[in-house]
């Protein structure tokens, strides 16, 4: 009997099934700027309507949150997470997402699981005016165990050159505003899984995995609406490393972000994790978002307007002069 690719563990037919399940939904994310369909070697996207455009790119994955989804057999939110992690990053520079591509790797492809993951990306793209224009599904027996998956994405956005937000205009006296997260988002799950080994345990009246798998919040719509009304001097996406590592990324030398931790609304699941795992509070702030998914820096004269425009935002600190980039008070 001759060898085949399938005998080596790669089922091309399952890949074709995956494409058949997603292609019509993916096409619904396309707009007039997408010039070809799935199946080409490359995806075409034309840029129109900008005077001095700058492309902004970002790539990310969902880490071991995927393990929670796989063990719980709940796959629909992971695609949203993948898109959100990329789109929120480029939003930090004021960019509007144009298009998104995904990479899905596994040991043995299941078209139902793969399609459910991609459909999450489709939903997120449609909700945020972004085209899903391509992707790669890689079945790699020997590299991954059957049942194992990895997901990553790549997002390209656009911003006018004179509207780039990079933190360079942040000054002492500016206010720091928090936008709440929806939970853990997609960071810190190796520690979460260590402390919470049973995802089916009851937490606040429902299985714990439902809380853990709440998708990463997307901030594009509220932030871009805000940018039309108010000048924003800096934006930080609070991902791996928490406030401690991400806020300093937008702070110039000689300036310090003074954070009032008493003002931060920490989710109950994070407090439970901290208690059960005997984790120091400073370790929590250096690992998790602690309920703050995004931070913006604004002029204090706009604070009241910003809080009115962003329904659930609240002030957590201010910029001062000092040698340290961030202080948690």
Burial of 51 (0-12, 13-18, 19+ CB in 10 A): exposed
Residue 259's DSSP bridge partners are 317, 328
Q: At residue 184, what are phi and psi to the nearest 5 degrees?
A: -70, -15
Could you list the pLDDT tens digit for every one of the 329 residues in the chain? 677 778 777 778 888 888 888 888 888 899 999 998 777 888 899 998 899 999 999 999 999 999 999 999 999 899 999 999 999 999 999 999 999 999 999 999 999 999 999 999 999 999 999 999 999 999 999 899 989 999 999 999 999 999 999 999 999 999 999 999 999 999 999 999 999 999 999 999 999 999 999 999 999 999 999 999 999 999 999 999 999 999 999 999 999 999 999 999 999 999 999 999 999 999 999 999 999 999 999 999 999 999 999 989 999 999 999 999 999 98
pLDDT for res 87: 98
pLDDT for res 15: 83
pLDDT for res 53: 96
Strand ranges across the sheet with 314-321? 232-237, 292-298, 175-180, 314-321, 255-259, 326-328
- Decide if 41 contacts 49 (C-beta within 8 A): no
Cα distance between residue 237 and residue 296, in whole Å: 9
Class of domain 6-163: alpha beta
- Decide if 196 contacts 269 (C-beta within 8 A): no
Cα distance between residue 23 and residue 19, in whole Å: 6
First to last CA, the chain: 71
pLDDT for res 208: 96
> Residue ranges of the domains in the chain?
6-163, 175-328
- Decide if 145 contacts 67 (C-beta within 8 A): no
The CATH number given to 175-328 is 3.90.650.10
Helix-strand-coil split of the chain, %, nearest 5: 35, 25, 40
- pTM assigned to the model: 0.94
Cα distance between residue 123 and residue 83, in whole Å: 10
pLDDT for res 17: 87
pLDDT for res 9: 79
């Amino acid at each position: 009997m001759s060898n085949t690719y399938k005998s080596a563990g790669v089922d091309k037919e399952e890949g074709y099934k995956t494409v058949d399940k997603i292609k019509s939904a993916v096409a619904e994310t396309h707009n007039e700027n997408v010039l070809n369909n799935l199946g080409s070697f490359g995806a075409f996207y034309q840029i129109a309507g900008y005077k001095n455009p700058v492309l902004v790119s970002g790539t990310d994955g969902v880490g071991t949150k995927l393990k929670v989804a796989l063990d719980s057999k709940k796959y629909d939110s992971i695609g949203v997470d993948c898109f959100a992690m990329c789109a929120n990053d480029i939003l930090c520079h004021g960019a509007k997402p144009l298009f998104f591509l995904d990479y899905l790797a596994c040991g043995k492809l299941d078209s139902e699981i793969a399609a459910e993951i991609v459909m999450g990306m489709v939903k997120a793209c449609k909700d945020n005016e972004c085209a899903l224009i391509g992707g790669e599904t890689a079945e790699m027996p020997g590299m991954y165990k059957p049942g194992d998956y990895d997901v990553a994405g790549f997002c390209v956005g656009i911003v006018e050159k004179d509207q780039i937000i990079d933190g360079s205009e942040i000054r002492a006296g500016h206010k720091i505003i928090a936008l709440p997260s929806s939970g853990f988002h997609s960071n810190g799950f190796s520690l979460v899984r260590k402390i919470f080994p049973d995802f089916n345990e009851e937490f606040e009246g429902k299985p714990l995995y439902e809380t853990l798998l709440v998708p990463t919040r997307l901030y594009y719509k509220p932030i871009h609406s805000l940018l039309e009304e108010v000048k924003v001097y800096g934006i930080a996406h609070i991902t791996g490393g928490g406030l401690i590592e991400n806020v300093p990324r937008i702070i110039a030398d000689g300036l310090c972000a003074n954070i009032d931790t008493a003002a931060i609304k920490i989710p109950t699941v994070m407090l439970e994790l901290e208690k059960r795992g005997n984790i120091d509070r400073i370790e929590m702030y250096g690992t998790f978002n602690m309920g703050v998914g995004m931070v913006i820096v604004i002029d204090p004269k706009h604070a009241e307007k910003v809080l009115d425009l962003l329904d659930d935002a609240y002030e957590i600190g201010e910029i001062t002069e000092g040698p340290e980039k961030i202080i948690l008070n």
